[in-house]
Structure 1
Amino acid sequence: MPLGYDVRDRKLIINEDGAARVRRVFELFVETGSGTEAAKRLQAEGVTSKSGRPLEKGDVYKILNLRT
């Protein structure tokens, strides 16, 4: 399930906490132009995935390319 969403009654519902993290990923990527640099800054800020692990470069690119 994508970061920023929860499933209720088989429908995607926006999770505000996760949505804020997704917006931050986009902000940092636009600012830096680099997935690697965005990931470094997200880790420094303590931004995590749903499971609580720090976001890495691959996570940043997944978020940026996810159509949802």
Structure 2
Amino acid sequence: AKKTDRFVKDAVEARLRMVIPYIDTWPQAMSILLLPQNITESLSSLMNIVDEVWYYAGDRSTDVSNKSVSVLY
């Protein structure tokens, strides 16, 4: 569990570091993603990131579990 926790933490941190080159325009990008017409695509992108992190952390389950659903809250 510790190894998985560390992997997930590192993966999320690495993903956030990918934003650094775009930090000046990031707030505008986030506001565009939150427009009503973009919510479906935004949530889809978020769920893909969550799924990829957990997949590479070793989770090969195909069910909708708390870790996937909790990202929506």
- Check whether TM > 0.5: no
**Structure with the greater alpha carbon radius of gyration:** 2
Bigger strand share: 1
Structure having greater relative contact order (Cα 8 Å, sep ≥ 6): 2
TM-score by length of 1: 0.31
